[in-house]
């Protein structure tokens, strides 16, 4: 599969397009260049998925994160989006599950 096609497909499945991307890169740096040109590679034939660096594609309220199943060497995009802050607030004694009961 082609990384660019796969990226466009994942964006489209979530109501987004290449035009919605603000930047792309990794946790450590932004990549300068044309995403359409850099991502136009085959991900399963020409390249082992381990050769593709850990990538992020970031928009205003979402990001795509490249994840990999190390047992199969197969990777894919995971769509992530910002969630709304809950209106409800609770006070907890602990974040440990067995001690979650809050103060009354």
As averages over each run of 10 residues, the pLDDT of the chain (104 residues) reads 93 97 92 94 60 84 86 80 82 68 52
pLDDT for the residue 102: 52
pTM above 0.75, yes or no: no
Measured in whole angstroms, the distance separating CA 93 from the mean position of its chain's CA atoms is 33
User: Domain locations in the chain?
Assistant: 3-81
The pLDDT value given to residue 73: 66
39 Cβ neighbours under 8 A, 6+ residues apart? 2, 3, 4, 7
Cα-based distances in Å from 43 to 13, 37, 55, 61, 62: 19, 14, 13, 27, 23
Reference 64, options 39, 81, 43, 40; nearest CA is 81
What contacts 46, CB < 8 A, 6 or more positions away?
none
């Amino acid at each position: 599969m082609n990384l660019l096609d796969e990226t466009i497909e994942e964006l489209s499945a979530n109501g987004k397009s290449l035009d919605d991307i603000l930047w792309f890169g990794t946790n450590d740096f932004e990549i300068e260049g044309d995403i359409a040109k850099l991502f136009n590679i085959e991900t399963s034939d020409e390249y082992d998925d381990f050769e593709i660096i850990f990538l992020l594609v970031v928009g205003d309220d979402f990001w795509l994160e490249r994840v990999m199943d190390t047992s199969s060497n197969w990777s894919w995009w995971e769509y992530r989006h910002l969630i709304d802050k809950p209106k409800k607030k609770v006070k907890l004694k602990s974040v440990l599950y067995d001690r979650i009961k809050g103060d009354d």
